[in-house]
Structure 1
């Protein structure tokens, strides 16, 4: 059973890597983002999307951790 699970995980990871590779190869057009007066460098669309995804993956749990911590501190003060 363990070897079947390992094979399934490897197949899913391989499909994920292939999907990411296809996304990167299909989105090579350069773009420059303008945000609050700051102009970013010319980067491929795929780089902009992947960096945005990574920032969101870090910011979301960080915000959740901060909110959870403050709520826990409030509950401790009430008890």
Structure 2
């Protein structure tokens, strides 16, 4: 059973890597983003999306830790 799980995991990772590579290769047109007067140089749209993905993968778990930490610190109401 452990071997089947390992093969499934490796297959999933390889498929995900192929999808990302395909996405990057298909989105090579240059774009420039502007936000509150700040503008970027023209770089491929795939770079912006991959950076947003990485940023979300970093911020999401951090927000989860903050929210769960607050819930644990709150006093329990109604328990007597």
CA 1:5–1:70: 2 relative to 1, 3 Å: closer
| Range with bigger deviation, 39-48 or 59-68 | 59-68
State the superposition RMSD in angstroms. 1.9
Q: How many residues align?
A: 78
Counting only pairs closer than 5 Å after superposition, residues 39-50 of structure 1 correspond to structure 2 as 39-50=39-50
Q: Which runs of 5+ in 1 are unaligned?
A: none
Q: Which runs of 5+ in 2 are unaligned?
A: none
Cα deviation, residue 66, structure 1: 1.5
Q: Structure 2 length as normaliser, TM-score?
A: 0.82
The structure in which a higher percent of residues are helix is: 1
